[in-house]
Amino acid sequence: MQLGFVIDHSRCIGCHACTVACKSENDVPLGDFRTWVKYTEEGSFPDVRRSFAVLRCNQCSDAPCVEICPVTALEKRPDGIVDVDHDICIGCKGCMQACPYDALYINSNTGTAEKCHFCAHRTEIGLAPACAVACPTEAIIPGDFHDPASAVSQMKAGGDLTARKTEAGTGPNVWYRDVAPAGVDPCSTNRSGGLIWANNHTGPQLDAETFLAMEEQAQARTVYDTPHKPLWGWKITGYLWAKSIGAGVFLAAVPLLQPFGAGPADDRLAGIIVPILALIALTATAGLLVGDLKRPDRFLSILLRPNWNSWLAKGSFIITAYAGLITLWLALGIFELELNPAITGALSAVTAVLGGLSACYTGWLFGQAKGRVLWMKRFLWVQLLAQAFLAGGATLLIWAAIAGAPSAVFGLLAFTLLTGLGGQFAFTLAESALAPEGRRTEYERAAKLLTHGPYARTHWFVGVGLGMVVPVVLILAFASSPLALAAAGVLALVGLWVEEDLLVRAGQALPIS
């Protein structure tokens, strides 16, 4: 069984009865919507055509929100409805980033995610969803797409229906008849010209669309829509940055550790400094993640009832195991305990692997965020690994300058930092070639915001120039100066923060519905 809708836009009059009925039936808070009507206009005066598009959850056959949820709060029911268990949801907003249709919101009263659930409480007793009952033109037709005799199946079999973003691979179960392409394709319309009945939605999203309006000729104008604000901000930037340091300091220190013998043995570095720096960064990582939850009181649910399809859940276990081994290293250093060299080598190798996975897993997590195509870029996990070497080398160079470490230590750490900077710069140059399969148009529009749009100046002058080029120059020109190498480390960390912040912001700047 697969319940879904056919929405017949040859009948829709844009009256918003479906929106009002939904809000009333489901007690949807002010400012939030489970279904809404988007207005687009095409042409020039006097030949202008206004079209409507009713937007909502698509009850996907392969729902990305279910996959990314770390605590199994979302489920695909036997009747095909995708629903949220409010008693489990931790308010991480991962499902909202995973949805290509902007269909979820956080209820400000409960701190949990909500969405269209096909009025399950009505469906279970044989009633139609409230929106379908309230529609005065019967433009909203609910039914079972797995029943060949149902009206929706027969309409779909007629071959004249379209769905939203089928290229995302979600298997949407809301189909449209006679809908204007601009209503269901956010890449073909632009809202920067202003809205009817409302002030335009200001902020980074308007800046992004204003830039694109100058760069390309949109097929249509969006003149009425609901606001969808960015979901993640500086806390997620801080999480990425701190995690890069936490994972990277051990990876950068591996050549300096005794079992590898590539550098001078420094028990204080191996047993005390690196574990302390890593644990401080990992504690900040965890604090920022928990602080960004809308229900931080439920954060332990990630470990107690994990969804093993979610990289947010898998990553939590990886980083917890890594923190545990780092704590073991610290204990060995504090109590000056010596292990068998073979055991020490094996412990170093396992810790390094977990450190690398701690750096990488967010790339796979972002790959599950099918609503944010910029984050889905290929090989992001490799870039995050390069950023970990960058962050680890930079942090330890700063420590080495403060502690007066031997020159051989500076040489190895400077090489590690150069390796990380080289990897980061290579990915910057290859940005346009990293589009995920089938989503190139969306990806290129978002990437253009970084390279030529409202974020370009910060990206090129601060992220690339100050954060990559200048550190390389300092390392190559003043390799024997601890102060210059420490300055290179500071600038590299500043540039890394800027680049990660721009990735988070640019990924959310363009409308996806």
Task: Give the per-residue pLDDT at 404.
Answer: 84
> Which residues 6+ apart lie within 8 Å of 232 measured at CB?
93, 97, 292, 504, 508
Both structure tokens of 29: 């808070």
User: How many other C-beta atoms lie within 10 A of the C-beta of residue 222?
Assistant: 24
| 233-254 b/e (C-beta count within 10 Å ≥ 16 → b) | eebbbbbbbbbbbbbbbbbbbb
Nearest of 452, 434, 463 to residue 374 by alpha carbon: 434
Would you state the structure tokens that stand for residue 451, as one six-digit string? 């390279």
Q: What pLDDT is attached to residue 334?
A: 85
Q: What is the pLDDT of residue 340?
A: 85
Residue burial 481-499, b: 16+ Cβ < 10 Å; e: rest: ebebbbbbbebbbbbbbbb
Residue 331: how many other CB atoms lie within 10 Å:
12
Tokens for 129? 């969803």
Pairing of strands 174-177, 105-107: unpaired
Pairing of strands 220-224, 189-190: parallel
Q: Report pTM.
A: 0.95
Cα 128 from Cα 134, distance rounded (Å): 10
Quick one: tokens of 441? Answer: 């148009």
Cα separation, 354 vs 45, in Å, equals: 62
pLDDT at position 272, please?
Answer: 85
Give the tokens for residue 47.
């030949």
Q: What is the pLDDT of residue 338?
A: 79
Q: What angle do CA 455, 459, 465 make, to 5 degrees?
A: 155
pLDDT of residue 269: 62
What is the identity of the amino acid at 322?
Y
User: Tens digit of pLDDT per residue, the chain (513 long)?
Assistant: 999 999 999 999 999 999 999 999 999 999 999 999 999 999 988 889 999 999 999 999 999 999 999 999 999 999 999 999 999 999 999 999 999 999 999 999 999 999 999 999 999 999 999 999 999 999 999 999 999 999 999 999 988 899 999 999 999 999 999 999 999 999 999 988 888 888 877 788 889 999 998 888 888 999 999 988 899 999 999 999 999 999 999 999 887 765 433 333 455 665 688 999 999 999 999 999 999 999 999 999 999 999 999 999 999 999 999 999 999 989 988 887 878 888 888 998 999 999 999 999 999 999 999 999 999 999 999 999 999 999 999 999 999 999 888 888 899 899 999 999 999 999 999 998 999 999 999 999 999 999 999 999 999 999 999 999 999 999 999 999 999 999 999 999 999 999 999 999 999 999 999
Task: Classify residue 126 as left (phi > 0), alpha (psi -120 to 50) or beta.
Answer: left
* Direct distance between the N- and C-terminal alpha carbons of the chain, in angstroms, rounded to an integer: 27
CA 121/CA 113 separation, integer angstroms:
18
Q: Can you give the three-state secondary structure of 333-369, one letter per residue?
A: HHCCCCCCHHHHHHHHHHHHHHHHHHHHHHHHHHHCC
Q: How far is CA 119 from CA 176, 223, 266, 272, 282, in A?
A: 20, 29, 64, 57, 42
Domains and CATH numbers, the chain: 3-224 (3.30.70.20), 234-506 (1.20.1630.10)
Q: Which two tokens stand for residue 40?
A: 């687009």
The candidate with the shortest Cα–Cα distance to 37, out of 53, 18, 58, 56, is: 53
